[in-house]
Chains A and B, each alone.
Chain A
């Protein structure tokens, strides 16, 4: 037992360091993004668009971190949830697919957040561009899922199923509560784009829950 405890301590320390480094990196990037956007744009965006953009930034950041890990495996192994640099080299193809998928989701969410729409004339891009990007990403996702259907092993599939299960449960609870509160006049209004933000955020959270429940948040 004592051996196990001694072995577990460094893992948690490593995880805590990764969490702190990730948090600082995310905060710096978010602060930089907010600075670039400017207060006028942020005021015009309002909370729903800012929430959507934040979720998009999280996806994009995760894609960037994994991409960095693939480009520099030795440094990447220090910040990513992998056993060592060799794992990053061995799993390059699968992780590259993850980078593409998360990056595409992040970019599309960001485009939606800054697209011009009725009541948001300060948007940076035409709404049609964001809608086109969303449709292209959806079609690309379907095609890629079909093309990659044999590239996932059984653990990938199982974690995917469990992640989707938790994402659905969390979304159902969260959106039902929010929509009901709005409907009954108790809470803030639930806009259509809030549903998009919530589903994307819950997909991430659900994946973390699935991975965490299996004790796979630390390696």
Chain B
């Protein structure tokens, strides 16, 4: 699972999980699952989340993966 900062930005915006869910047209369960790293959202939803917070996707979702050094 990716790490994400959805809860931080949601709380900074003063929105409840239900409010964010309504704005993104998903269930509150989905927001809760994303915030608790139980579900990685689809690319379209991640893009919509980032757009809603005025961020780039990589600012909202953090992937620690690094490519192997092929040399």
Contacts and interface: CB of A to CB of B under 8 A. Distances in A.
Given A91-B27, A154-B30, A155-B33, 18 more contacts: A87-B18, A87-B28, A87-B29, A90-B21, A94-B27, A153-B26, A154-B26, A154-B41, A154-B42, A155-B26, A155-B29, A155-B30, A155-B39, A156-B30, A158-B39, A214-B33, A215-B38, A219-B32
Nearest to B17: A83
Instruction: Report the contact-size class of chain B (Cβ under 8 Å from the partner).
Output: 10 to 19
A79 to B, nearest CB: 17
Contacts of A219: 32
B45 interface: yes
17 contacts: A83-B17, A83-B28, A87-B18, A90-B18, A90-B21, A91-B29, A94-B27, A153-B26, A153-B30, A154-B26, A154-B30, A155-B26, A155-B30, A155-B39, A215-B36, A215-B38, A219-B32
Nearest to A83: B32
Between A86, A155, A219, the greatest number of chain B beta carbons within 10 A of the residue's beta carbon is seen for A155
Contact of B27 (A86, A156, A215): A156
Interface string B24-56: 011111101100101101100100000000000
Contacts of B17: 83
Contact of B38 (A83, A87, A216): A216
Interface string A72-105: 0000000000010011001100100000000000
Interface of A: 83, 86-87, 90-91, 94, 153-156, 158, 214-216, 219
A86 B18 contact: yes
Contacts, number: 40
Nearest to A158: B39
List of 6 A-B pairs having minimum Cβ-Cβ separation, nearest first: A155-B30, A153-B26, A214-B38, A153-B27, A90-B18, A215-B38
B30 to A, nearest CB: 4
A216 B42 CA distance: 18
A90 B28 contact: yes
A15 to B, nearest CB: 15
Nearest to B41: A154
Contacts of B33: 155, 214, 216
Between B18, B21, B26, B29, the greatest number of chain A beta carbons within 10 A of the residue's beta carbon is seen for B29
Contacts of A158: 39
B41 to A, nearest CB: 7
